[in-house]
Structure 1
């Protein structure tokens, strides 16, 4: 009687051994696995062989190019430079998935899908104005490679990067400079022109280009890098409701004061439109606040909202002097009311509160006293009820001037007539 043991061997009466099924099963599995592996290596020879060096055989040649629509297009890639980029550890196939073919030649490659790795950024971009334009068929709108380049992609802190602070205005300027294909395209909807040119001459632009200050604001600081939206979009960083916080990323101290002022919606509850940063400073033509160019337009800028106060200011000595050459040094609205921390006269902290007027006026008039501050900077001589003395003084002086000039005007005309009459009589007598 034979006996089965755990090793799959049966002993027969003759003392011999006979192989059982477990050994046959394992042998079959081994043959199947070996055959499958050999088949995969035969069908997909490039899966393990295609590397960046393989691509460099063709694309590493500076003369490697193709002609499309009569235009020569270079297909050269600087692989030495690529090895220094953020994608240096990635193979070409990581981006160019459809290049994984057998043989040296491959068909025209499809668009690179950056979202495969940068999915969160891609989600943000998909909701931006740039993506919206592309979705509606405007292929001039930028995609990833238009801003970051195709292969020379470096960290934003690298001076070679197209999104390095000093380079961003040039990168954005490829589309937004005046005269570019974008600005000439039908349907270009930006309501501003010479954006890059104006920025370069602004305090931000001069801080970047002249002084080399990396802390100065560039395009992406205000508009963000990927979530770029139109100014009318409530989610836009440059929408009126959001612009204060956007500017506050750099000007935190100023914004903290502004939010306590009468111009802040947190303080003044009204349906009227309250001024924000860009109303006074503009968006791309921002001037140095203490410069003569900015000071010369303060009254007119404030007058856009405070029309009546602007008119009465012009009637004062300060206003008249400001219209003269060199009038930038004359007291302007912000010299008396403050620039960002503007409070009502009733506030004890206001620069125009009665208790603070001497101090405010003393900034320009060191010898100012309480009597000096009785000056009425916005008095309107047309308002009889509010300024009766000024009103009647105006009437009296106007009557005096009109009466005097009228009397002597009539006197001059009568005297002229008499002189002509006497001259004619004199000529007649001579003859």
Structure 2
């Protein structure tokens, strides 16, 4: 007798298919039975247990679990050690290890401040379930989910809002975080306009790898925050071209201020601050003639004469429009203030200034280099048409001459064509026309050297460079300039290096 027909290829496939279906069905039966066994106890609403010395409910609502992202999981897929115990299982099962499935998220969390605090047994450290839930975990696209976009500020605020555990227990540099977020541009975009594309806490700080801003690996560290902001705000170089010189992005990016230096992340918008901090509030302190601060060995007055601003060109501008980095909720809102950035309004002028000799020197931290306030003043800034202004036409030579005179600050600079420009100008036809005859049409320093783009005469961009000085003089002496252009002396590029006479030679 032969049994060969029992093992024909067709019959063998049928047998293996039967075995596979039997095993998978049996496994499913075991799992179904296991969950059913669990629920024999855990469907009891009165069931409790001890956890970290506290009595907690052990009830599991199967109707809630059925709608969670884990609805297809079995009890044992998370509570694996329950399968190793006899039935019923021991009371002290190990905590669920979400990292068994969510490896990357767990790795990031352990590296972050939350995970490190949890490893250090910090009683206030959040675990996965604090943010995502227990048996009720929902996908972040579900509007009922704790991690749904609109709910993120509330979720983080459970610990981080003022008066809660983070603000009370830990030494944090930021306060009123949630309050300020809701009133800032991102918060208003989220809550007032319903824009789910706006930034929430996790967009800037990360979902699981949350690091302090002092960490070089943090998404909000000074060297990484631009990349974080650029996830939403593209083309930042073009957007800031009137404030930051373009070549700095490529040649010296380390000196460019971090986004948060100018755009504080947890602060109310400037218009909101302006509405809440009035000039009168500032003057409560700054009207005191004895108010001052100590910087190194210097005593610097903080007194502000309230008669100056009403007579200046900035009389309709509030204090906080220039002094923007104030913090409303502090006892001294101006304690967080930074130097005034005039480029916020005068961007094009700043472009020229930073190309000039003055601006370059100031940029390189030359303490003798003039800044806006050295020429224009601070709170008493006046129009150039005001005859009491330091930049009034008749006053320009004296203003520039304060530095460009013998033993003046400019005399320290190498390569200047003249070291006593004020004296030389005063005795020139232009100077005598201005001071001797009161002719305001006479040329002053800024007519020849420009107001904000002055450069040494050997710089090809300079208005007094040999190739450019004739055109500069021609703005007043138009007829002579046109005649000069037709003459043999007209300046031109000569491959032989011939020097042609110019107006100043």
- 1:318 is matched with which residue: 310, 313, 325? 313
- SS of the residue corresponding to residue 346 of structure 2 reads helix
| Contact 1:64–1:75, Cα closer than 8 Å, also in 2 | yes
Matched, 1:82 2:65: yes
Matched, 1:193 2:175: yes
Q: Distance in 2 between matches of 1:147 and 1:227?
A: 14
- 1:213 is matched with which residue: 177, 187, 195? 195
* Deviation of the 1:57 alpha carbon: 2.9
Q: Distance in 2 between matches of 1:118 and 1:325?
A: 48
Where does residue 57 of structure 1 map in the other structure?
40
Where does residue 403 of structure 2 map in the other structure?
385
- 1:93 is matched with which residue: 65, 72, 76? 76
* Segment drifting more, 217-226 vs 98-107: 98-107
Matched, 1:226 2:236: no
Distance 1:270 1:247, change over 3 A: closer
Matches within 5 A, 1:250-399: 250-254=232-236, 256-258=238-240, 262=244, 265-266=248-249, 269=252, 273-287=255-269, 292-293=274-275, 317-323=312-318, 333-337=343-347, 343-345=351-353, 376=391, 384-385=402-403
Q: Distance in 1 between matches of 2:145 and 2:46?
A: 25
- 1:121 is matched with which residue: 102, 105, 108? 105
Q: Distance in 2 between matches of 1:207 and 1:226?
A: 24
* Deviation of the 1:150 alpha carbon: 1.3
Distance 1:50 1:158, change over 3 A: same
* Deviation of the 1:260 alpha carbon: 8.5
| Contact 2:274–2:320, Cα closer than 8 Å, also in 1 | no
Matches within 5 A, 1:103-252: 103-104=87-88, 106-185=90-169, 188-252=170-234
- SS of the residue corresponding to residue 403 of structure 2 reads coil
| Contact 2:69–2:139, Cα closer than 8 Å, also in 1 | yes
Structure 1 stretches of 4+ moved >6 Å: 294-297, 324-328
* Deviation of the 1:323 alpha carbon: 4.5
| Contact 1:124–1:226, Cα closer than 8 Å, also in 2 | yes
Where does residue 361 of structure 1 map in the other structure?
none
- SS of the residue corresponding to residue 208 of structure 1 reads helix
How many pairs are equivalent? 311
- SS of the residue corresponding to residue 130 of structure 1 reads helix
- Give the aligned CA root-mean-square deviation in angstroms: 4.7
| Contact 1:65–1:73, Cα closer than 8 Å, also in 2 | yes
| Contact 2:182–2:191, Cα closer than 8 Å, also in 1 | yes
Q: Which has the larger radius of gyration?
A: 1
* Deviation of the 1:229 alpha carbon: 0.6
Q: Distance in 2 between matches of 1:326 and 1:247?
A: 24
For structure 1, which runs of at least 5 residues remain unmatched after alignment? 8-40, 298-307, 349-369, 393-431
* Deviation of the 1:243 alpha carbon: 1.1
For structure 2, which runs of at least 5 residues remain unmatched after alignment? 4-25, 280-299, 324-340, 357-383, 406-421, 427-505
* Segment drifting more, 288-297 vs 82-91: 288-297
Q: Distance in 1 between matches of 2:401 and 2:38?
A: 84
Alignment TM-score, normalising by the size of structure 2: 0.51
